[in-house]
Amino acid sequence: MRYYFFFLLTLLTACSGLERSEQERMRRVNAKAEEIYRLKGEKFLTIEIPKKRKREQYSFEKYTIGNHPRITKEYFRCRGSAKNPSVMLKKNTKNAICHFDCGGYDKHSLPVREEKEYIYPVLIDLLNYIQEKTQKKVVITCGHRCPVHNVYADASKKNQSSKHLIGAEVDFYVQGMEQCPKEIVDLIMNYYENVEEASYKSFARYTSADSNVSINPWYNKEIFIKLFDKNEGRDFDNNHPYPYISLQMRYDKLGKKRVLYSWHQAFNGFMRW
Ligand SMILES: [Zn+2]
């Protein structure tokens, strides 16, 4: 039996070897040689030398400027929080009112315009421009304020018509340049140098006594720049030791109208949940 098995194995192996050699013979018979007529150095296609080009940004890099995240409308959300302790609005009187802060961005939106949350784009662009030019972080201390947080932060009568309520004002300072806010004001003016309209390029000084700052503010057609010294303009949101800058919208370029405080917009122009 064992011998029969070995005989069969040998026979099969021999057959497959025979088949392979036959295939090789047929391949050689049918093979056709083709001569190469191309001369040395002759090229069918000319390949251009690759040029070095700048690498395209990854999607996550588009959200940064230098080492800092790009500022978006999310940075303008109300700084109120239900965890903040209550404040007494009329101290040392029998009619003192206990006022609680709002629930913050968990409880309400930014101002809404055309069914979307809206912050004036030029405010965002200006802050990103400052970050890009200084390579330093812009710290927004106050963007949008809902009416409840606005009273909580500063209950003075003058503050009740603040443009923070309609998303048209922002307070900020630049980390690492806290003591040189004038340089930041100059940068803001530089931003407008490439704008065609002369009314945007030229800045005037606001000299009226009602500005509540020691340094006269600057303004062009679109924005109003206020520089608060380290002892000025302190409230709950600006409770830090640095001078800071406030940018207010004066004119809405897209809507082609002046930006004015409106009670209706301030109290009904955002969503609560
Ligand atoms: Zn709020």
Let me know if residue 151 belongs to a domain.
yes
Predicted pLDDT of residue 179: 94
Which pLDDT score, from 0 to 100, does residue 143 have? 97
Write the ipTM: 0.99
Residue pLDDT, tens place only, 44-75 = 888 889 999 988 877 766 778 768 899 999 99
Whether 69 is in a domain gets the answer yes
Output the CA 199–ligand 1 centroid distance in Å. 35
Q: Domain for residue 213, yes or no?
A: yes
Q: Give the pLDDT of residue 5.
A: 57
Distance 165 CA to ligand 1 centre (A): 9
The predicted pLDDT at position 32 comes to: 86
Which pLDDT value is given to residue 222?
A: 96
Report how far ligand 1's centroid is from the alpha carbon of 126 (Å): 24
Is 3 part of a structural domain of the chain?
no
Rounded distance from Cα 262 to ligand 1 centre (Å): 17
101 CA to middle of ligand 1, Å? Answer: 7
Choose between 147 and 3: higher pLDDT: 147
Ligand 1 mean position, distance from CA 145 (Å)? 6
In the predicted model, is pLDDT for residue 101 greater than 60?
Answer: yes
96-122: average pLDDT:
93
Instruction: Report the b/e string of 94-124 with b at 16+ CB within 10 A.
Output: eeeeeeebbbbbebbbbbeeeeebbbbebbb
User: What tokens does 129 get?
Assistant: 């421009």
What distance in angstroms lies between residue 94's CA and the mean position of ligand 1's atoms?
28
Q: How many separate domains does the chain show? A: 1
Q: Cα 150–153–157 angle (5° rounding)?
A: 65
Q: Alpha carbon of 178 to those of 125, 170, 191, 228: distances in Å?
A: 20, 16, 20, 12
State the residue range of the domain holding 194. 59-272
Q: 246 C-alpha vs ligand 1 centroid, how far in Å?
A: 19
Counting residues of the chain whose pLDDT is more than 70, the rounded percentage is 92
CA of 99 relative to ligand 1 center, distance in Å: 13
pLDDT classification of 212: cutoffs 50, 70, 90: confident
- Interhelix angle 181-191/121-134, rounded to 10 degrees, is 120
Q: How far is CA 63 from CA 46, 81, 110, 133, 135, in A?
A: 40, 27, 21, 16, 14
Alpha-carbon distances, residue 215 vs 163, 208, 209, 210, 218 (angstroms): 20, 11, 11, 12, 9
In a domain, residue 24? The reply is no
28 domain residue, yes or no: no
CA of 265 to the centre of ligand 1 (A): 14
Whether residue 233 has pLDDT greater than 90: yes
In a domain, 4, yes or no: no
Kindly state whether residue 143 falls inside one of the protein's structural domains.
yes
CA nearest neighbour of 203 among 211, 214, 192: 192
Length of the chain: 273
